[in-house]
Amino acid sequence: MIYEREIAMFEAKIIMETRLITVNRHTPIYEAIKTMVENNITGLPVIDDNMTLKGIITEKDVLSLLYNIEDNAGKVEDFMTKDIVTFDQQDSLIDIAESFIKNHFRRVPIVARGKLVGIVSRKDIIKYILKLRRKDKSPTESIP
């Protein structure tokens, strides 16, 4: 029983962000960029009407617009990364951390039964490491 609780303690669902800001494939690219800037985020999941993940649009994906500034540069689908790594909400944070170590991305979408349910970023895992470390410290300490 203790082993099962320890495993559950490291599942993606315990730290994933569930208040998601998303776009769809047909969103104008400058609208997606504006959404990223206004929300101070570096990437957006791209979904369809059923919350099925279709890709991700990131800062890196739109850098080429610097030398192609047009009023109508296209839609999110013209720039998004379609081949993305995802994890299930019950997958281990250790597996996600290893994926971050091996790859250059900053976040991974979390799915359940094929639908987008959350996102885990490098920062989320770092905060969790700090939280775990502080468990053996004074109970009055808190995470910023």
pTM, 2 dp: 0.81
Instruction: For residue 98, give the amino acid letter.
Output: E
Domain containing residue 26: 2-134
What's the distance, CA 13 to chain centroid? 12
What CATH number is associated with residue 53? Answer: 3.10.580.10
Give the burial class of 89: count Cβ atoms within 10 A of its Cβ; 0-12 exposed, 13-18 middle, 19 or more buried: middle
Here the tokens at position 76 are 């999110």
**Confidence at residue 137, expressed as pLDDT on a 0 to 100 scale:** 57
pLDDT in tens, the chain (144 residues): 344 455 457 899 999 999 999 999 999 999 999 999 999 999 999 999 999 999 999 999 999 888 776 667 899 999 999 999 999 999 999 999 999 999 988 999 999 998 999 999 999 999 999 988 876 554 444 544
Whether 142 maps to a domain, the answer reads no
Whether 75 maps to a domain, the answer reads yes
Dump pLDDT digits (tens) for 62-94. 998 887 766 678 999 999 999 999 999 999 999
Whether 70 maps to a domain, the answer reads yes
Which alpha helices (DSSP H) does 9-138 contain, by range? Answer: 29-39, 59-62, 93-102, 122-134
Whether 141 maps to a domain, the answer reads no
Whether 20 maps to a domain, the answer reads yes
Total tally of structural domains belonging to the chain: 1
Whether 11 maps to a domain, the answer reads yes
Here the tokens at position 12 are 């993606």
